[in-house]
A and B are shown apart, each in its own frame.
Chain A
């Protein structure tokens, strides 16, 4: 089962525009992570935000976390064609089986 669900499933924008992806999760979390995957390649960790943090920045990335709504968003500013990839949020599921569970991902296409 998916702990997180990303929205939208696909997003197409022009180079230079900002891209916003949202993630909703089901259970309480310690942290939430965002990963990027280029087509058919391994996932690359982008950023980790802890449950007591509301916002975090890393370069052109801005992540917010709203634990009351069980949601997070990833903003990529001034997008580039090289940002074209799938983006996944991931969090720990509840219960004793602590699994880092990934959402279904957002496919971002940045057009030159």
Chain B
């Protein structure tokens, strides 16, 4: 158990809909990262938050947004969903900024858009 909790584990929704994925980082970790993993694109970095502030943005679509709350949990919002958004979405946390220390990954949310 990495200590990072992601909910829900599975999500099935229709095209055009909006979903929210939730992540609770390990106790004491200030950084939260979101990744998307699909068969054709591999593991893609989406966004990084540190102590409530956005620190880095990767290949995140404009239809996607995220935030980190004062209690350090984070949410990833995906809207106007398309079939191609079907993927595993991982959240990870670390004590320090990205890449300086190891990252701890949650078990992921498997999103299926039908």
A contact residues vs B (CB 8 Å cutoff): 2, 30-31, 33, 35, 40-45, 48, 88, 90-92, 97-105
Contact = CB atoms under 8 A, between A and B. Distances in A.
Contacts of A100: 33, 45, 98-99, 103
A12 to B, nearest CB: 20
Contacts of B90: 42-43
A51 B90 CA distance: 27
A43 B105 contact: yes
Nearest to B108: A42
A56 B99 CA distance: 18
A99 B88 contact: no
Q: Which of A99, A100, A101, A102 has the most B CB atoms < 10 Å from its CB? A: A100
B56 interface: yes
B48 interface: yes
6 contacts: A35-B105, A40-B88, A43-B43, A45-B104, A97-B57, A100-B33
Contacts of B101: 48
A91 B99 contact: yes
Interface in B83-103: 88, 90, 92, 97-103
Given A40-B88, A88-B43, A99 B98 contact: yes
